[in-house]
A and B are shown apart, each in its own frame.
Chain A
Amino acid sequence: MPPLKLPIVDAAADGRPWRSLSERAQKPEPSRELSEQAPLETSRRGLLQMLGASAAFATLSGCLKQPAEKILPYTKQPPEVTPGIPSHYASASTLDGYATGILVTSNEGRPTKIDGNPEHPSARGAIGVLEQASLLSLYDPQRAKVFRYQNEPRSLHDFLAAAVANGRALESKQGQGLHFLMEPGSSPLVARLRERILERYPKAKFSSWSAIPLQQIHDGSALAFGSPYETRVDLSKASVVCSLDADLLSALPGTIAPMRQWSDKRVPKGEGADENQMARLYAVEANLTVTGMNADHRLRVKPSHIARFGLALLGRLAKQVPALSQYAPLAQKHELDATQARFADALAKDLVKAGRGALVAVGPRQPPALHAVAHAINSALHSDCASLSKPVLHDLDAGPRALRLLTEQMRAGAVDTLVITAWNPVYGAPFDLNFGKALSQVKTSIYRSLYEDETSVRAGWMLPALHPLEAWGDARAHDGTTTFVQPLINPLYGGMTEVEVLAAFLGEGDRSTYAMLRELWQSKSPKNFDLTWEKWLADGFIQGTATKPEQPQVKHDAVLAAANKLQFADAGFEINIIPDYRIWDGRFANNAWLQELPDPVTKTTWENHARISPTFAAKLGLDNGDLVDLSLRGPSARAPVVIEPGHADDCVTVTLGYGRNGPGEELARGLGFDTSTLRHTDDPWIAGELAVVPTRLSSPIAQTQEHHSMEGRLIAVSTQLKSLQATNAMLEEHRGTPLTYHSPVKYPGHRWGMSIDLSRCTGCNSCMIACQSENNIPVVGKDGVIRSREMHWLRVDRYFLGSETDPGVVFQPLMCVQCESAPCEYVCPVNATVHSDEGLNEMVYNRCVGTRYCSNNCPYKVRRFNFFNYTGNFSETEKMVFNPDVTVRARGVMEKCTYCVQRIERARIRTRVQGREMRDGDIATACQQACPADAIVFGDLNDEDSKVSRRNREERRYDLLHELGTRPRTGYLARVMNPNPELA
């Protein structure tokens, strides 16, 4: 076969795409599936006997009559339920104090799917992985179910009685010694209760704790403006964005809204694109982030030097922007090496040129001074992309500083009653605080949590929490919009909301959260309340309650003073601690969907790793999977190494949330290593003087990276704006009808197709969880992933381009492309995979006998096989998560993406019963609905005006593995980068 023309114009001389370092070094990894030894020690004769017997018994099973079944109708039909038609409720999912508007699907009273609320002004229907996967936690049988005191079971009534007695004692001393350690929050109802508690116990104290605090953001704005502000990023007006460790495109809390705006700025022309020039993204970071992987230019620097780069950038801008002139000395003070200087020069020039379209964004892990510097730059450039408004959180200081104050008081015996509603401070607190020991010394401690975890074993009272889908509440969204949380189901196990815990201290523990919530909002809007309330709950939020942007003045003297105070000593190896993309700070650790979701960067599952650069690995003589001991002023943590191309040298990145040993979280226990021993209060994120000791041991890594490799063919096309035309011409031969002697099949009715725009996709994985939830996809566990048996119908492939040290990255979501000439269909001996009259490649589970020929013959490797009965031992509670529209597959059956055929059929019947034809927009596949970047579009290719047809007509369109003649229905649009010519 002649070599294919690879239209990957982005890369350097050796720019072939590669997915892992071993692939790049052309060192094939040994197949994990076929080891040298046969897996079964069965004789040939024995095997034949078993085959014969199982065939005979399988036939006999056909002779059984159908078992009897029961029908249980309602006794009184609830008016809001129509059995068989799912209802949708607007609610909210809160994380780190901010709400995301969600729309929950309920099938006869059981929530089965979480989507974004398309009406919500903050995110407009986009949603990330954490919010979607929280559905699985609702049905987790390992949730805390009983109230406990000193580890003995108690009742809610016992707790309320104890709280009243305790409250009475505290009241006599004005609440001296009463302390609340809360989850960061923005709930107006909680704010009201806090006020009332302070009225009753004037000396009571409140503070918040999160292992991922936003405190440095608030400190930075306080530095720049005199009082704290929050930045609301609006990328719809951006043209040049500089991210200093800010992960703006990762579908994590706060980044969902910017993602959609950004995707519209990354399409060169055609539908949905701005006529203006494409936006450009610069990223400066240590570890590879989703944002960094999408950047046109990425600079890797040691974590502590990101701030230094920021100051040098400000120094350069000072020469070009008169408003910043006083910062000019910073450029000389912080000299950069040649690469960095070139990057900073070009970036400074580009930012000035962009003017109002410029944005410098700083990540929450960076020092306050750098945040202040970014404010100075954005305000001097009159940026339209960053508006400032008053923070909505109750406690701005929710980090280690506040926790240290509390711990000191606890040690001194000044805390008599400690009420903890924050998530697991014993696990998350920095090592040097020894919060766990201090907690044991508190006379009365009360802890509310969804699971019995590290904190619950040390607290006196353990109160089970209600899942957000079981509870009422309110919160403010990222833009400040007041959003309501409403329950979809009665509490499965009983428990309390945060509001009810607070109310217990007001002697109102027997009042429901709903009553208090309604009362609060009635007092705020008494006129015509019933109607207003109904509307708010139906919408899920109150229109027009977003915080107003303000224009505070930057205090340049203070910013300069703070910038001058920053010290950058070279302190050996550095530790770089980051939140986990999947389990965040560890609160989602017991969620199997998230555990099995590959990390967008490393494609690892089920544990955390020490991520290091290829150079650093070579220096220490380490390979993937080797174990190292990491220590930093304390005990060491043993971590498996993952070599991450593009990582900064001489530093190690680790993610939070693993190494759990709570009694309740059985799924999470023993996975990964605990990073809290590496965290200290003075800087919980980045620190020097890390000791890295190789151990000569290694452990296998559950990575989906090397699986399903496409062997160097044209797969994900990435090009540059300037060479777009050439690429389009080159792609000409990778689309359209291939030459064939078969007469083409006609599809007169609907012709379903999909278009995936690689320019929009950021690789955030949101579609993967949406697919898993919609299609009842099981998880296989760490061992299963190591054996390449993961079941995801939709995967996001990640390809590296160029050098190991500074690679370019391109993402490609890939599910069954529904070939018109499907190779899987020819080889199935039992007709279990066939073509529909609308061109879908159908999978008939009941015909499948599991030969796996189809999977072998699939060039896209998108078919998945049930090696075991993964859902067979599900309890009745766990089964409630299943989508009733999709068959739950058994062992020995092949499965794959069906373009959400259940949604197609539901829409077809719905529209036909209404007496009309299906229109474009009647069907959205689960992945399309969840995609925050609008990268996936589904529709009818026979309809010339459908969105998918319009996208497919774009010049960037190509078919995957077109040369095989499979005629896939999914078309891809090439990714376009917009690099700065000066840096090319």
Chain B
Amino acid sequence: MSALFKPSANTGFRIGIFAIALLLGGGLIAGPMIYVRTPFFTQQQDPIDQPVQFDHRHHVGDEGIDCRYCHYLVEKTQWAGVPPTSLCLNCHEQIWNKSPKLAPVRESYFADRPIVWNKVNKLPHFVYFNHSIHVKQGVGCVTCHGRIDEMPQVEKAQSLYMGWCLDCHRQPERFLRPREEITSMTWKPAGDQLQLGRTLKEQYHVQTRTSCTTCHR
């Protein structure tokens, strides 16, 4: 009786085992690496429910209210600043002051209880990001937060991974814009972004750093 497998089958078997091991091993390593980069894991493009149905599309897009009107700390401190309830009532004392959608806002104001918003852009606690310096040096809101004026419910636009931060810290000229266009949602460079970026980098003395303590203390 001849052998069921020819000697060459050994080689085939070895190659097969090797291939399976490679696939499994590669999958074990590459799989999680791919997984943590999916929007599913980073919670990107995932509209977050809020206690008040606040529509940025309407406020930013239709009314053209500047971001800094509500996010009033953005030029001064590390936080952009979620507006105090009293700020909402600056307008809504007069307009839509009976709207049922604004009931939680009125309740918060008169009961002196804060509105509990859900955080959209979360950074780990060992990251000390500062808004004021980025805004000062010409990083636009839209660069990190996306087209807020097109979001009915705000969602995370970027992964906020360290690698993503470093993309800009290593080559800020790719993203810089003139200071006066900081809050613009639609600004596009007239010419070449890189050339403009280099000019602005020079002009604003942008000195991005990649040392660890720049962000981790």
A residues adjacent to B (C-beta < 8 A): 62-63, 65-66, 68-77, 82-85, 749, 834, 836-838, 840, 842, 844-846, 885-887, 898, 901-902, 904-905, 909, 912-913
Question: Once the chains are docked, how many angstroms separate the CA of A749 from the CA of B128?
Answer: 22
Question: Once the chains are docked, how many angstroms separate the CA of A74 from the CA of B114?
Answer: 6
- Using Cβ atoms and an 8 Å threshold, which residues of chain A touch B117? 70-73
| Contact present for A71 and B85 (CB under 8 Å) | no
28 contacts between A and B (CB under 8 A): A63-B32, A63-B35, A65-B43, A69-B118, A70-B117, A70-B119, A71-B117, A71-B119, A72-B114, A73-B81, A73-B115, A75-B108, A76-B86, A77-B86, A82-B73, A82-B77, A749-B207, A834-B212, A836-B209, A837-B209, A842-B211, A845-B126, A886-B217, A887-B125, A902-B128, A905-B214, A912-B133, A913-B76
Question: Once the chains are docked, how many angstroms separate the CA of A840 from the CA of B132?
Answer: 24
Residue of B nearest to A85 (CB): B77
Residues in B109-143 with C-beta less than 8 Å from chain A: 109, 112-119, 122, 124-126, 128, 130, 132-133, 136-137
**B13 lies within 8 A of chain A by Cβ:** no
As a 0/1 sequence over residues 133 to 166 of chain B, the CB contacts with chain A under 8 angstroms (1 = contact) are 1001100000000000000000000000000000
Residue of A nearest to B32 (CB): A63
| Contact present for A72 and B116 (CB under 8 Å) | yes
Question: Once the chains are docked, how many angstroms separate the CA of A85 from the CA of B131?
Answer: 13
| Contact present for B133 and A76 (CB under 8 Å) | no
Residue of B nearest to A837 (CB): B211
Question: Once the chains are docked, how many angstroms separate the CA of A66 from the CA of B121?
Answer: 11
**Closest chain A CB from B40 CB (angstroms):** 9
User: Taking A84-B73, A845-B216 as contacts, is the C-beta distance between A75 and B85 under 8 angstroms?
Assistant: yes
Question: Once the chains are docked, how many angstroms separate the CA of A800 from the CA of B205?
Answer: 52
- Using Cβ atoms and an 8 Å threshold, which residues of chain A touch B84? 73-77
**Closest chain B CB from A560 CB (angstroms):** 64
**B15 lies within 8 A of chain A by Cβ:** no
- Using Cβ atoms and an 8 Å threshold, which residues of chain B touch A74? 84-86, 114
- Using Cβ atoms and an 8 Å threshold, which residues of chain B touch A71? 82, 116-119
Question: Once the chains are docked, how many angstroms separate the CA of A898 from the CA of B217?
Answer: 8
Q: Give the contacting residue for A85; candidates B76, B124, B133; CB below 8 A.
A: B76
**B94 lies within 8 A of chain A by Cβ:** no
- Using Cβ atoms and an 8 Å threshold, which residues of chain A touch B212? 834, 836, 842, 844
**Closest chain B CB from A266 CB (angstroms):** 35
Residue of B nearest to A912 (CB): B133
Question: Once the chains are docked, how many angstroms separate the CA of A790 from the CA of B128?
Answer: 27
| Contact present for B217 and A836 (CB under 8 Å) | no
- Using Cβ atoms and an 8 Å threshold, which residues of chain B touch A836? 209, 211-213
Question: Once the chains are docked, how many angstroms separate the CA of A913 from the CA of B130?
Answer: 11
Question: Once the chains are docked, how many angstroms separate the CA of A838 from the CA of B137?
Answer: 21
**B5 lies within 8 A of chain A by Cβ:** no
Question: Once the chains are docked, how many angstroms separate the CA of A75 from the CA of B78?
Answer: 20
- Using Cβ atoms and an 8 Å threshold, which residues of chain B touch A84? 73, 76-79
**B41 lies within 8 A of chain A by Cβ:** yes
**Closest chain A CB from B25 CB (angstroms):** 15
| Contact present for A885 and B217 (CB under 8 Å) | yes
Question: Once the chains are docked, how many angstroms separate the CA of A65 from the CA of B126?
Answer: 17
Question: Once the chains are docked, how many angstroms separate the CA of A77 from the CA of B128?
Answer: 24
Question: Once the chains are docked, how many angstroms separate the CA of A85 from the CA of B132?
Answer: 12
Question: Once the chains are docked, how many angstroms separate the CA of A66 from the CA of B46?
Answer: 13
**Closest chain B CB from A908 CB (angstroms):** 8
Residue of A nearest to B82 (CB): A73
| Contact present for A65 and B41 (CB under 8 Å) | yes
- Using Cβ atoms and an 8 Å threshold, which residues of chain A touch B23? none
**Closest chain A CB from B99 CB (angstroms):** 19
**B21 lies within 8 A of chain A by Cβ:** no
**Closest chain B CB from A865 CB (angstroms):** 18
**Closest chain A CB from B35 CB (angstroms):** 8
- Using Cβ atoms and an 8 Å threshold, which residues of chain A touch B77? 82-85
Q: Give the contacting residue for A68; candidates B108, B113, B119, B214; CB below 8 A.
A: B119
- Using Cβ atoms and an 8 Å threshold, which residues of chain A touch B125? 887
- Using Cβ atoms and an 8 Å threshold, which residues of chain B touch A82? 73, 76-77
Residue of B nearest to A914 (CB): B136
| Contact present for B133 and A913 (CB under 8 Å) | yes
Residue of A nearest to B77 (CB): A84
Residues in B51-94 with C-beta less than 8 Å from chain A: 73, 75-79, 81-87
| Contact present for A75 and B133 (CB under 8 Å) | no
- Using Cβ atoms and an 8 Å threshold, which residues of chain B touch A909? 130, 132-133
| Contact present for B132 and A70 (CB under 8 Å) | no
User: Taking A84-B73, A834-B212 as contacts, is the C-beta distance between A913 and B128 under 8 angstroms?
Assistant: no
Residue of B nearest to A72 (CB): B114
| Contact present for B126 and A887 (CB under 8 Å) | yes
- Using Cβ atoms and an 8 Å threshold, which residues of chain B touch A65? 41, 43
- Using Cβ atoms and an 8 Å threshold, which residues of chain A touch B132? 909, 913
**Closest chain A CB from B68 CB (angstroms):** 14
| Contact present for B113 and A75 (CB under 8 Å) | yes
User: Taking A76-B86, A82-B73 as contacts, is the C-beta distance between A885 and B213 under 8 angstroms?
Assistant: no
Chain B CB within 10 A, most for which of A63, A83, A904: A83
**Closest chain B CB from A852 CB (angstroms):** 20
Chain B CB within 10 A, most for which of A62, A74, A901, A904: A74
| Contact present for A83 and B114 (CB under 8 Å) | no
**Closest chain A CB from B146 CB (angstroms):** 18
**Closest chain A CB from B10 CB (angstroms):** 33
**Closest chain A CB from B70 CB (angstroms):** 10
| Contact present for A898 and B126 (CB under 8 Å) | no
- Using Cβ atoms and an 8 Å threshold, which residues of chain A touch B207? 749
**B36 lies within 8 A of chain A by Cβ:** yes
| Contact present for A75 and B116 (CB under 8 Å) | no
- Using Cβ atoms and an 8 Å threshold, which residues of chain B touch A834? 212
Question: Once the chains are docked, how many angstroms separate the CA of A659 from the CA of B87?
Answer: 56
Q: 15 new A-B pairs (CB below 8 Å) besides A71-B82, A840-B211?
A: A70-B118, A70-B119, A71-B117, A72-B114, A73-B81, A73-B85, A74-B86, A75-B113, A84-B76, A837-B210, A842-B213, A844-B216, A885-B217, A905-B214, A905-B217
Chain B CB within 10 A, most for which of A62, A63, A912: A912
Closest 5 CB pairs of A and B: A84-B77, A836-B211, A69-B119, A74-B84, A72-B114
As a 0/1 sequence over residues 188 to 217 of chain B, the CB contacts with chain A under 8 angstroms (1 = contact) are 000000000000000001010111111011
- Using Cβ atoms and an 8 Å threshold, which residues of chain A touch B41? 65
| Contact present for B213 and A901 (CB under 8 Å) | yes
Question: Once the chains are docked, how many angstroms separate the CA of A659 from the CA of B20?
Answer: 71
As a 0/1 sequence over residues 10 to 36 of chain B, the CB contacts with chain A under 8 angstroms (1 = contact) are 000000000000000000000010011
User: Taking A72-B114, A82-B77, A845-B126 as contacts, is the C-beta distance between A840 and B213 under 8 angstroms?
Assistant: yes
Chain A CB within 10 A, most for which of B43, B76, B112, B213: B213
Residue of A nearest to B81 (CB): A83
Question: Once the chains are docked, how many angstroms separate the CA of A85 from the CA of B75?
Answer: 12
- Using Cβ atoms and an 8 Å threshold, which residues of chain A touch B78? 84
Question: Once the chains are docked, how many angstroms separate the CA of A749 from the CA of B210?
Answer: 14
Residue of B nearest to A73 (CB): B82
| Contact present for A898 and B213 (CB under 8 Å) | yes
Question: Once the chains are docked, how many angstroms separate the CA of A73 from the CA of B211?
Answer: 32
Question: Once the chains are docked, how many angstroms separate the CA of A840 from the CA of B213?
Answer: 9
- Using Cβ atoms and an 8 Å threshold, which residues of chain A touch B133? 909, 912-913
Question: Once the chains are docked, how many angstroms separate the CA of A818 from the CA of B205?
Answer: 28
- Using Cβ atoms and an 8 Å threshold, which residues of chain B touch A72? 114-117
Question: Once the chains are docked, how many angstroms separate the CA of A68 from the CA of B43?
Answer: 11
| Contact present for A69 and B216 (CB under 8 Å) | no
| Contact present for A885 and B128 (CB under 8 Å) | yes
**Closest chain B CB from A225 CB (angstroms):** 56
| Contact present for B217 and A887 (CB under 8 Å) | yes
**Closest chain B CB from A413 CB (angstroms):** 54
Question: Once the chains are docked, how many angstroms separate the CA of A901 from the CA of B209?
Answer: 14
Q: Give the contacting residue for A838; candidates B86, B116, B126, B211; CB below 8 A.
A: B211
**Closest chain B CB from A793 CB (angstroms):** 13
Residue of A nearest to B207 (CB): A749
- Using Cβ atoms and an 8 Å threshold, which residues of chain B touch A749? 207
User: Taking A82-B76, A85-B76, A898-B217 as contacts, is the C-beta distance between A73 and B114 under 8 angstroms?
Assistant: yes
**Closest chain A CB from B14 CB (angstroms):** 29
| Contact present for A902 and B119 (CB under 8 Å) | no
